[in-house]
Copies of this chain bind each other. A is one copy, B any other.
């Protein structure tokens, strides 16, 4: 084996939650960074990061963290990106690259790009991976394995800087694709943002319904509902910001969803069994495609019930 050469000499992680923490683990697994520096707004998070040795060095401010870094990763909620960009801007090293991991891209570009100094590259990215857990203890090295990371380079971005960010994501286990910001935000509204809002809504309905007690909802959740509760357990701050910053695309998809739901409700009301059966047969085929594409397990019930296969 040849000795591994790091892709970046010093990586600064701003924010130390699930994604940044998993990046730290994945970069260490692959020897991808010479040094990993990290910081977080909350003193408690910084203390935990120090205690568990999440990164090589924890700094108290973002300004300190980015000093001398050739890659700076903004891993904070989308709504906090602009303030961080403003804070770090005067401290960025010439030739450095700033990237982010936000779930929305147009809003992040609008908020961050104006603060990026001349001679510093900005390469927005979005790893499509996560769990319902959050915080500095929640990360793990394999989170990005076989998942997609979407790279969203602004017009005129430096090709070498873009390629290097892509190389990092690939070395952390991901497949990468490039996409423009508006299309990214629409695709994510379909595959992520609308499903999350729908899950939050269904869990909220169950919580409100006084004719069915909370304990009934909880005890009998294995019949389907518990899958919604996992999604609806995702980080509240992150998701508040996603909906507020990808407003148009999310509302567009939710509008289509409601129309479609009304069509199915009507089929139930009218007793149109053929329509329902045909619809459910089609959706089953989509699941099959996702499994064939390696994007989910075929183990029954995600493998949690311990069944065969």
Contact = CB atoms under 8 A, between A and B. Distances in A.
Contacts of A198: 198, 202, 261
Interface stretch (A43-51, A92-100, A158-166, A277-285): A277-285
Nearest to A267: B243
A287 B217 contact: no
Contacts of A244: 268, 271, 273, 276
Contacts of A241: 273
A42 interface: no
B187 A226 contact: no
Contact residues of A: prevailing secondary structure: helix
A286 B232 contact: yes
Interface residues of A, number: 112
A147 B236 contact: no
Tell me the number of copies of this protein. Answer: 2
A172 to B, nearest CB: 14
A269 B254 contact: no
Interface in A112-152: 128-133, 138, 140, 142-143, 145, 147-148, 150
Contact of A207 (B212, B277, B282, B302): B282
Interface in A238-272: 239-241, 243-244, 247, 250-251, 253-254, 256-258, 260-261, 264-265, 268-269, 271
B200 A264 contact: yes
Contacts of A195: 202, 224-225, 227-228
A32 to B, nearest CB: 19
A122 to B, nearest CB: 23
A207 B286 contact: yes
A60 interface: no
Interface of A: 79, 103, 128-133, 138, 140, 142-143, 145, 147-148, 150, 177, 186-188, 190-209, 211-212, 214, 216-234, 236-237, 239-241, 243-244, 247, 250-251, 253-254, 256-258, 260-261, 264-265, 268-269, 271, 273, 276-277, 279-284, 286-290, 293, 295-297, 299-308
Given A197-B264, A233-B288, A247-B268, 7 more contacts: A142-B305, A188-B220, A190-B209, A204-B283, A226-B290, A226-B296, A227-B231
